[in-house]
């Protein structure tokens, strides 16, 4: 579920107060969930019974515990570190200088990628609208939830671009819209428009809006432009407000179809729906695309994350001759 929990400002629960503080910093909801998870684990590990007991000096011990006892990856340890630094430095106003701990040194695995023919074969095995979602992941480099959270106004058919709002790291970015899927995308948008009209007749035409927008522009919840491009088949009831709304499709339904297609085609790779995004970056790099452009299209904050694709296609040793081919 990607809709933030409803919070009572006067709640005295520690996690509620922490969530409120996180939201004042305008962090993405996924970041909020990750921070709360790791902070809760940290608290349980140290058997804290009150906020006053939390101490930044305990962070190194916990981070080493994650490496030695739980064998976590470098990225997982880094996520936990970010959460605990936020807790102690930002929320509790404690010093976190000079933290020394054993860092995870698991080897970074190269991402699995489809060949172009494999990607197209998997896509052609999918049913609508999952097929269109997969085409956006492979053709535009979207993460699965970025595709599912697209709103109608995020699609620019004239300039052939897609805007991803509040992506990973709470950043907006723009990426390419493939010419080849525009006709099918127009059909999908026409379907959404008609469905929205029918929902309006039943009084169910309101969609979830991010909290700040919901407060400032409440009328937008009923507008066509804010409807999801890939809406759920059913109207659901918000357990907090009781409001009936049509949310977007669930990621697990897309993932299941993609997994089944990969198995059916007997593609012997550890692949998933996310493999389409890796394949997008690899194809562009193979065609001479530069890393900075790919970084922007994928929304990577660090160019080092994008550079891994040079290893996938062997560009890091481009021009190197094998000893067997020496004269």
> Which segments of 185-302 are extended strands (E)?
236-237, 244-245
Residue 298 has pLDDT above 80, yes or no: yes
Catalytic: which of 19, 143, 247, 278? 143
> In which band, very low, low, confident or very high, does the pLDDT at 321 lie, cut at 50, 70 and 90?
low
Question: What is the full DSSP assignment across 134-165?
Answer: HHHHHHH---HHHHHT-BGGGEETTTTEEEEP
Say whether 159 is catalytic: no
Q: Residue 5: what pLDDT?
A: 64
Of 129, 246, 150, 149, give the one whose Cα is nearest residue 196: 246
> In which band, very low, low, confident or very high, does the pLDDT at 30 lie, cut at 50, 70 and 90?
confident
Q: Residue 119: what pLDDT?
A: 96
Say which residue, 324 or 34, is predicted with more confidence: 34
Task: Give the span between the Cα atoms of 1 and 134, in whole angstroms.
Answer: 21
Sequence-ordered list of residues with C-beta below 8 angstroms from that of 166, at least 6 positions apart, any chain: 28, 172, 210
Give, for 198, the enclosing helix (H) or strand (E): helix 182-201
Say whether 248 is catalytic: no
User: Average pLDDT for residues 220-241, to the nearest whole number?
Assistant: 84
Q: Residue 3: what pLDDT?
A: 59
In order of their start, the domains of the chain are 14-91 (1.10.150.130), 109-326 (1.10.443.10)
Of 310, 289, 281, give the one whose Cα is nearest residue 138: 281
Percentage of the chain exceeding pLDDT 70:
89
> In which band, very low, low, confident or very high, does the pLDDT at 325 lie, cut at 50, 70 and 90?
low
Specify whether the CB–CB gap between 174 and 163 falls below 8 A: yes
Residue 317 has pLDDT above 60, yes or no: no
User: Average pLDDT for residues 16-38, to the nearest whole number?
Assistant: 88
Residue 241 has pLDDT above 70, yes or no: no
3-state SS, residue 10: coil
Say which residue, 324 or 68, is predicted with more confidence: 68
Residues 115-151 have pLDDT tens digits of 999 999 999 999 999 999 999 999 999 999 999 999 9
Q: Residue 157: what pLDDT?
A: 95
Catalytic: which of 65, 78, 165, 274? 274
Question: What are the tokens at 36?
Answer: 């709360």
Q: Residue 319: what pLDDT?
A: 53
Say whether 143 is catalytic: yes
Catalytic: which of 35, 62, 138, 309? 309
Lowest-confidence region among 41-45, 99-103, 155-159, 246-250: 99-103
Residues 60-79 have pLDDT tens digits of 999 999 988 888 888 889 99
Burial class (CB in 10 A: 0-12, 13-18, 19+), 14: middle
Lowest-confidence region among 8-17, 46-55, 102-111: 102-111
Say whether 277 is catalytic: yes
Is the preceding peptide bond at 129 cis, omega within 30 degrees of 0? yes
Catalytic: which of 168, 220, 222, 244? 168
Say whether 274 is catalytic: yes
Say whether 247 is catalytic: no
3-state SS, residue 194: helix
Question: What are the tokens at 114?
Answer: 């489809």
Tallying the residues shown for the chain, one arrives at 327
Q: Residue 312: what pLDDT?
A: 82
Residues 139-148 have pLDDT tens digits of 999 999 999 9
Specify whether the CB–CB gap between 134 and 171 falls below 8 A: no
Catalytic: which of 247, 248, 277, 278? 277
> In which band, very low, low, confident or very high, does the pLDDT at 197 lie, cut at 50, 70 and 90?
very high
- Residue 102 phi, psi dihedral angles, 5° rounding: -75, 125
User: Average pLDDT for residues 166-177, to the nearest whole number?
Assistant: 81
In whole angstroms, how far apart are CA 136 and each of 55, 133, 174, 228, 259?
45, 5, 13, 15, 17
């Amino acid at each position: 579920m990607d809709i933030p929990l409803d919070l009572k400002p006067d709640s005295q629960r520690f996690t509620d107060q922490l969530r409120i503080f996180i939201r004042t910093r305008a962090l993405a909801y996924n970041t909020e969930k990750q921070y709360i998870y790791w902070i809760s684990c940290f608290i349980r590990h140290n058997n804290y019974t009150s906020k006053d007991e939390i101490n930044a000096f305990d962070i190194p011990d916990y981070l080493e515990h994650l490496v030695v006892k739980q064998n976590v990856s470098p990225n997982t340890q880094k996520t936990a570190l970010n959460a605990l630094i936020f807790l102690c430095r930002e929320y509790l106003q404690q010093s976190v200088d000079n933290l020394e701990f054993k860092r995870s040194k698991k080897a970074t695995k190269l991402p699995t990628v489809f060949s172009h023919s494999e990607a197209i074969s998997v896509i052609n095995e999918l049913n609508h609208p999952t097929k269109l979602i997969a085409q956006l992941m492979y053709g535009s480099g979207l993460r699965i939830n970025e595709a599912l959270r697209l709103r109608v106004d995020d699609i620019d058919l004239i300039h052939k671009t897609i805007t991803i709002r509040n992506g990973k790291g709470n950043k907006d970015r723009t990426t390419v819209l493939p010419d080849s899927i525009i006709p099918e995308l127009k059909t999908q948008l026409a379907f959404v428009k008609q469905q929205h009209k029918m929902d309006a007749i039943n009084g169910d035409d309101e969609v979830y809006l991010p909290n700040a927008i919901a407060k400032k522009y409440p009328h937008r919840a009923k507008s066509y432009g804010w409807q999801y491009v890939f809406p759920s088949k059913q109207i659901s009831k918000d357990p907090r407000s009781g409001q009936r709304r049509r949310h977007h499709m669930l990621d697990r339904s897309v993932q299941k179809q993609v997994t089944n297609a990969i198995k059916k085609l007997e593609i012997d790779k550890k692949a998933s729906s996310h493999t389409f995004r890796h394949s997008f970056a690899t194809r562009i790099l193979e065609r001479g695309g530069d890393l900075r452009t790919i970084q922007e299209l994928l929304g990577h904050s660090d160019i080092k994350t994008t550079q891994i694709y040079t290893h996938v296609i062997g560009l890091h040793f481009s021009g190197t001759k094998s000893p067997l081919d020496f004269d």
